[in-house]
């Protein structure tokens, strides 16, 4: 087994062991309280701008199991897209860089996945610790595979039915593989992580939510990424809701992309230069607008 697979296996086992220990501890402390399970499924239509112009069908599912002083969350996201993610560079002597970037029309593409395991446990009424593991793939941003294991502590600022807000801060370990290797970036590194969850109910049927995660690299202060999503849900009944959301994915040091180099003839034809390649950074920011039908049970 490779070292990378070994690290991933150890992190996965750690999250699983901690999650399974939750119900045992909870049952010992408060046996009278029943366990609670909830699930939320989203079917959505997605538009993106940035490293790709996309129209897509999306699927999200969040499973949560709650105990008196703990909770386990398993989250999955997947997107099926038609996208423009192919670009070429055409030689242009009249431009400062000497080439022009040209994008092609949309083609079918499966581009984005996310899987998250997370366990939170309260220490006091306002203080908790957590541990988790995430894996994501975003081909348009040049990320083939990225594992992030994390552990930390946090504060519960509000915990009412209509208003919830908590923040957490801790350490992380990232193991990533990008489509084009950047020799100036580390594939694996220890780092730090901040996140928050905010929920505010506006009346009986409308809910505003904001989730934010920040992950940084201890050895390279410029190598960090941020993921923030704001959403508004309007309940149709106890099981169904409509949700609109806007997500900002920001990589301060984006992945590199190898672009084939072409020459444009006076007639307007494009001729590829043999072995001609230009390496260009991808865009730092991707925005994702999402409309979805939410099914709760």
**283 DSSP assignment:** P
CA-nearest of 106, 125, 146 to 227 is 146
- The predicted pLDDT at position 110 comes to 61
Least confident of 45-59, 156-170, 243-257: 45-59
Residue 79 pLDDT > 90, yes or no? no
Pick the more confident residue, 70 or 16. 70
The whole-number average pLDDT for the span 221-232 is: 97
- The predicted pLDDT at position 92 comes to 83
Place of tokens 């996945």: 113
User: Whole-model pTM?
Assistant: 0.76
The whole-number average pLDDT for the span 197-211 is: 96
E strands, 85-126, in order: 87-91, 99-103, 107-122
| Dihedral sign for Cα atoms in the order 120, 152, 21, 78 | positive
Residue 11 pLDDT > 70, yes or no? no
Give the burial string for 132-153 (b: 16+ CB within 10 Å, else e): bbbbbbbbbbbbeebbbbbbbe
Residue 232 pLDDT > 80, yes or no? yes
The pLDDT mean for the chain works out to: 85
- Which pair of structure tokens corresponds to residue 112? 């984005």
- The predicted pLDDT at position 22 comes to 46
Residue 93 in 3-state DSSP? coil
How many other C-beta atoms are found inside a 10 Å radius of the C-beta of residue 104? 10
The whole-number average pLDDT for the span 112-140 is: 95
How far apart are the C-alpha atoms of 119 and 44, rounded to whole Å?
Answer: 27
Phi-psi region for residue 34, left (φ > 0), alpha (ψ -120 to 50) or beta? beta
Q: Are 136 and 146 in contact (CB under 8 A)?
A: yes
How far apart are the C-alpha atoms of 9 and 149, rounded to whole Å?
Answer: 11
Residue 34 pLDDT > 50, yes or no? no
Residue 54 pLDDT > 60, yes or no? yes
Domain with 248 in it: 3-296
Residue 48 pLDDT > 80, yes or no? no
Confidence of residue 95 (pLDDT cuts 50, 70, 90): confident
Q: Are 140 and 85 in contact (CB under 8 A)?
A: yes
Residues in the chain: 297
Confidence of residue 228 (pLDDT cuts 50, 70, 90): very high
Confidence of residue 61 (pLDDT cuts 50, 70, 90): very high
pLDDT digits (tens, 9 = 90+) for 146-202: 999 999 999 999 999 899 999 999 999 999 999 988 999 999 999 999 999 999 999
Give the burial string for 164-195 (b: 16+ CB within 10 Å, else e): bbbebebebbbbbebeeeeeebeeebebbbbb
How far apart are the C-alpha atoms of 129 and 122, rounded to whole Å?
Answer: 6
- Number of domains within the chain: 1
How far apart are the C-alpha atoms of 31 and 27, rounded to whole Å?
Answer: 5
Q: Are 208 and 194 in contact (CB under 8 A)?
A: no
- CATH number for the domain spanning 28: value is 2.40.160.40
How far apart are the C-alpha atoms of 77 and 115, rounded to whole Å?
Answer: 7
CA-nearest of 285, 165, 136, 161 to 225 is 285
pLDDT digits (tens, 9 = 90+) for 263-293: 988 888 888 888 888 888 999 999 988 889 9
- The predicted pLDDT at position 260 comes to 87
- Which pair of structure tokens corresponds to residue 164? 């919830």
């Amino acid at each position: 087994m490779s070292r990378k697979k070994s690290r991933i296996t150890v992190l996965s086992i750690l999250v699983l062991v901690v999650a399974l220990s939750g119900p045992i501890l909870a049952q010992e402390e408060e046996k009278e309280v029943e366990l609670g399970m909830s699930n939320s499924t989203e079917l959505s239509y997605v538009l993106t701008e940035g490293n790709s112009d996309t129209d897509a069908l999306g699927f999200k599912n969040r499973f949560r199991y709650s105990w008196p002083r703990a909770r386990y969350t398993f989250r999955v996201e997947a997107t099926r897209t038609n996208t423009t993610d192919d670009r070429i560079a055409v030689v242009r002597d009249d431009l400062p860089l000497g080439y022009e970037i040209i994008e092609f029309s949309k083609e079918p593409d499966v581009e984005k996945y996310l899987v998250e395991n997370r366990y939170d446990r309260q220490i006091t009424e306002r203080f908790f610790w957590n541990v988790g593991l995430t894996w994501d793939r975003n081909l348009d941003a040049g990320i083939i595979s990225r594992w992030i294991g994390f552990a930390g502590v946090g504060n519960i600022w509000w915990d009412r039915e209509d208003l919830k807000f908590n923040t957490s801060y801790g350490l992380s370990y990232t193991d990533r593989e990008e489509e084009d290797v950047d020799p100036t970036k580390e594939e694996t590194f220890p780092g730090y992580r901040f996140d928050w969850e905010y929920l505010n109910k506006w009346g009986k049927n409308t809910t505003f939510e904001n989730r934010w995660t920040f992950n940084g690299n201890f050895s390279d202060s410029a190598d960090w990424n941020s993921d923030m999503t704001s959403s508004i849900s309007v309940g149709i009944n106890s099981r169904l809701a409509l949700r609109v959301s806007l997500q900002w994915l920001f990589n301060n040091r984006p992945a590199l992309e190898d672009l084939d180099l072409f020459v444009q003839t006076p007639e307007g034809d494009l001729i590829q230069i043999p072995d001609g390649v230009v390496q260009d950074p991808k865009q730092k920011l991707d925005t994702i607008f999402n409309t979805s039908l939410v099914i709760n049970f």
